[in-house]
Amino acid sequence: MASNPVREWTGLQHFPVATQTALHNLLGKLRAEKVDNLTVLVLGKGGVGKSSTVNSMFGERMAVISTIQSETMRPIICSRSRAGFTLNIIDTPGLIEGGWINDQALEIIRRFLLNRTIDVVLYVDRLDGYRVDNLDKQVMKAIGQSFGPQIWRITLLVLTHAQLSPPDGVTYLEYVEKRSAALQTAIRQVSGFQKAVSQVVLVENSGRCNTNAGGEKILPDGKVWLPHLFESIVEVATGENQSLVIDKKLIEGPNANQRGKIWIPLLLVTQFFLVVRPILKAIQKDIQLEKQNRPGWEIRAEQYAKSASARRARKKFMADEEY
């Protein structure tokens, strides 16, 4: 089946001139590195701004944005090409449903990604989140378990709603640092990688975002965020860490029939020493005890039975002799 040709990235022409120049420079860098396509996977909890970030990056409305709660469970792949380069961004449904990990969404994402190669992952959360709670850690853990902990090596931490006024007594930069550090620490804890998610990128998707003289969206620290997001993506994609190949083995784990088979003999031996042997010993001990504690009449009856059968045998012997 022939796949549809990828549409031209027309949204790029609607970016302010300075942003367009920055993006063309990055495309030149990728061309020099012989990279003609990139696939970016966007993950995170529900409603944190994943789809909005995808749309901001393409400069057009490609992913569905929901103001209240998204109903869509399917990931979508958005692709655009420019000057021989194709950008694919995979937008995914939120990984939390009703206060729990959305296992169904995770499974659908896993199946959707089968046989694809992911160059960069954006783990999206909000800058204005108050704390990193247990549910956040569960989401991070679920991501590592689903795609292998190495996924965090190619992940950027993207914090949306970045045009905020920090609480009294804290500067914007201090607030950003604290929030970033809390999330980075949690990711390092669950992934076990000290170098996991070293980069944080701030994003403001709102149309009310402040702009500079050139019309580019800027954050309270004065940074123009969109080119910075693309620069960070290119840095990860052309960096030392390998892209993530989502193959059958990664999705289904090692051959299910072979999984754990090597432990069977060890289990049997352990079972013998820990379960079967103690039971046999206990039975023998019981028999011994029962023998020791027999009432006198039972012992006498047994002795009588023994001597009676001896007498009978002797009689029979003598009878045989006489005969």
Ligand X SMILES: Nc1nc2c(ncn2[C@@H]2O[C@H](COP(=O)(O)OP(=O)(O)OP(=O)(O)O)[C@@H](O)[C@H]2O)c(=O)[nH]1
Per rule CB under 6 A, is residue 229 in the interface with ligand X? Answer: no
Stretch of 15-23, 59-67, 226-234, 307-315 lying at the interface with ligand X (CB under 6 A)? 59-67
Q: Whole-angstrom Cα distance, residue 34 to residue 125?
A: 32
Comparison of 19 and 205: residue with beta carbon closer to Mg ion: 205
Count the residues of the shown chain that bind ligand X, applying the rule CB under 6 A. Answer: 19
How far does CA 124 lie from the centroid of its chain? 14
Binding to ligand X in span 166-205, by CB under 6 A: 203-205
Strand partners, 81: 8, 86
Per rule CB under 6 A, is residue 48 in the interface with ligand X? Answer: yes
For residue 202, what are its two tokens?
């701030």
Comparison of 16 and 94: residue with beta carbon closer to ligand X: 94
Question: Residues 124, 44: contact at Cβ < 8 Å?
Answer: yes
Q: Which of these, 170, 53, 92, 189, lies nearest to 132 by C-alpha position?
A: 189
Question: Residues 244, 118: contact at Cβ < 8 Å?
Answer: yes
Burial 217-237 (b: 16+ CB within 10 A, else e): bbbbeebbbbbebbebbbebb
Residue 67 interacting partner from ligand X, Mg ion, none (CB closer than 5 to 8 Å by kind): ligand X
Comparison of 129 and 149: residue with beta carbon closer to ligand X: 129
The contact mask relative to ligand X for 64-93 (x = CB under 6 A, - = no) is: -xxx--x----------------------x
Question: Exposed, middle or buried: residue 255 (CB in 10 Å: 0-12, 13-18, 19+)?
Answer: exposed
Stretch of 43-51, 80-88, 210-218, 234-242 lying at the interface with Mg ion (CB under 5 A)? 43-51
Report the nearest approach of Mg ion to the CB of residue 65 (Å): 7
Per rule CB under 5 A, is residue 51 in the interface with Mg ion? Answer: yes
Which residues in this chain contact ligand X in the complex, by CB under 6 A?
46-52, 65-67, 70, 93-94, 160-161, 203-206
Which residues in this chain contact Mg ion in the complex, by CB under 5 A?
50-51
